[in-house]
Amino acid sequence: MNISIVLSAMLFVVAVISGVGPQSLLIIGHGVRRNHAFWVACSCMFADLVLILAAGYGLAATDSSILILWINIFGLLFVGWYLYSKITGLFQSHELKLSQENLTKSNAILRALAITFLNPLVLVDTVVIIGGNSLHYKGLDHRSFMLGAVLGDLIWVMGIAYLSYKLANKLNNKYFWIIMDLVTIVIMVIVFTRIVSFLASHV
């Protein structure tokens, strides 16, 4: 197992999935309201892992050079747009608008699964960005990347669930999210550069 690849994959996945998207808002909202926060986080994490593993190992199994090329092209466009939106929105309002609705445990779980599996951005993150980048590795290195991807998702999802449960007022601080965005921008610039390098060597 390549520890450096595991760690870099962890940071990469946290950078990709972090931010105030529908899934993160759902987890934070349930944590703040103490409304089945653990079950919501576990449901989101389970759905994420299904998509990440299916994408990483499914794309590796196809071994189609054309598919890999197009996924990286689409990934480059998405990362470029993502970087642009992060940079231009860096100092705009980061106030969280959380739902005040309390749900039963079964409804909370179903909503978490629906927001993950039916959200196009989650599919782009997991299948195109994470799955596509896993193809830059082969053999043991690929398994190391997939392990890091799984751990990165676990750290982010369970981390924001715990923090929102314990420190609800802190998460609604704009400076917290500005710092998160700055870290994300640095990591995504590295990812953008790697994809450009990959495409330059395969076109």
For the chain, give the number of residues. 203
Distance (Å, rounded) from C-alpha 178 to C-alpha 173? Answer: 9
Predicted confidence (pLDDT) per residue in 26-62, tens digit: 888 788 777 888 899 999 999 999 999 988 888 777 7
Percentage with pLDDT > 70 across the chain:
84
pTM beyond cutoff 0.85: no
- Name the phi and psi angles at 137, rounded to 5: -120, 150
pLDDT of residue 98: 54
Task: Give the model's confidence band at 195: pLDDT under 50 very low, under 70 low, under 90 confident, else very high.
Answer: confident
Task: Write the DSSP symbol of residue 111.
Answer: H
Does residue 71 surpass a pLDDT of 60? yes
pLDDT of residue 100: 59
Q: 184 or 106: which carries more pLDDT confidence?
A: 106
Distance (Å, rounded) from C-alpha 49 to C-alpha 13? Answer: 12
- 2-12: average pLDDT: 89
Task: Give the model's confidence band at 169: pLDDT under 50 very low, under 70 low, under 90 confident, else very high.
Answer: low
Does residue 133 surpass a pLDDT of 80? yes
Maximum alpha-carbon separation in the chain? 52
Residue ranges of the domains in the chain? 3-202
Q: Which of 190, 181, 194, 201 is nearest to 89 (CA)?
A: 181
Q: Which of 151, 123, 153, 154 is nearest to 58 (CA)?
A: 123
Task: Write the DSSP symbol of residue 44.
Answer: H
Does residue 94 surpass a pLDDT of 80? no
Class of residue 139 by CB neighbours under 10 A (exposed 0-12, middle 13-18, buried 19+): exposed
